[in-house]
Amino acid sequence: METKHTPGPWLAYKIPNDRLGRHRVLCLNDEVSPGNGKLQIAAEIRTEANARLIAAAPELFAIALLQEEANALFEAGGATAEYMMLSSKLLHQRRAAILQAMGDGA
């Protein structure tokens, strides 16, 4: 499945000395701006919680796609070894993405 969003990873941080207390979400993927040493600003957000959630979006989207793959495996053959391995991988990735979005995992 081809997507059109900017690939992750993304990073959320508080803009230093910003009187409005805004946060910035940066794309850290070198493929977006290869070799030029510049980071791409994905968004400027007013609240830290929203900035963290936006920064976690690429990982959360990847997990959703992987879950679709796991569902297809289960529908095709039940709880096979391949399905169980993928489910375990999904569990760990999902927990890490949730912690990142909540501010406890970055």
Q: What is the pLDDT along the chain (106 residues), one digit of tens a residue?
A: 567 777 778 888 899 998 888 998 888 776 655 555 566 777 788 888 888 888 888 888 888 888 888 888 888 878 888 888 888 888 888 888 888 888 764 4
Residue 20, both tokens: 């409005």
The CA-atom distances, in angstroms, between 81 and each of 24, 63, 85, 87 are: 42, 19, 6, 10
Quick one: which of 3, 103, 15 has its CA closest to 53?
A: 103
pTM over 0.75: no
70: left (phi over 0), alpha (psi -120 to 50) or beta: alpha
